Amino acid sequence: QLVEFKADPSVIATLELNFRRDERVIRFLTFRQDKYAAEYAAKRRNLKSSKETVKENNMAGHMYNGRETELLIPASSLEVLKIAVIYGADAVYIGGEAFGLRAKAKNFSKEDMAEGIAFAHEHGVKVYVTVNILAHNDDLPGVREYLQELKELKPDALIIADPGIFTYAREICPEIECHISTQANNTNYETYRFWYRLGAKRVVTARELSLKEIREIRANIPDDMEIETFIHGAMCISYS
């Protein structure tokens, strides 16, 4: 059962003070205070209360033009993860203490990651872990060790940008989905097809793509390949 969490102004103020860098979560929580959001959250709780429903829906529940759409929220800490789960996120993405580009977030220790994944899974919510650095030679041994740890923790997907790290992930933990990060500059449908042939389940669009370009990608890739797109947030990469 989901725990009720009353988001009164003092709670929002506390969140803004402690998690100012995670503006997307704060905006999400503020929105959830209105009447429509309360009704929507109640419907989501009813959906998640049915284990059969959760099993049948890989990405629990939003429909748009007949295609299921997942609400994915960033979580900078274990507390933010739990709040996002309680307020109806379908999935959250998090970073560990190394090999991810969420450098300004508090990020997760191995112990916090294990607790967060367990909590999310108990509520029918998925967890994706960023391993999206562009690795140098010295990074590679540590990346292999980190992927072994993630294999034990069993997140639902890894978010990866570097082809070398992708190769390691497919070798070490092939049972975990690989999603290609926006950091990989995914701007055309041939790039999507390339990653699909290598085994990627999802590719995150480059931030600068227009809706027209995203529609063209959707029309030119396999139906079972997923597209993820940011709807809020700053540009986050510069070219060499």
Higher-confidence residue of 77 and 105: namely 77
What's the pTM value of the predicted model, to 2 decimals? Answer: 0.72
- Confidence at residue 5, expressed as pLDDT on a 0 to 100 scale: 47
pLDDT digits (tens, 9 = 90+) for 206-223: 988 999 999 999 999 999
pLDDT digits (tens, 9 = 90+) for 29-87: 444 444 444 555 555 556 554 444 443 444 444 443 344 788 899 898 899 999 999 98
pLDDT digits (tens, 9 = 90+) for 26-43: 444 444 444 444 555 555
Residue with tokens 């959830």: 32
Alpha carbon of residue 4 to chain centroid: 23
- Confidence at residue 112, expressed as pLDDT on a 0 to 100 scale: 93
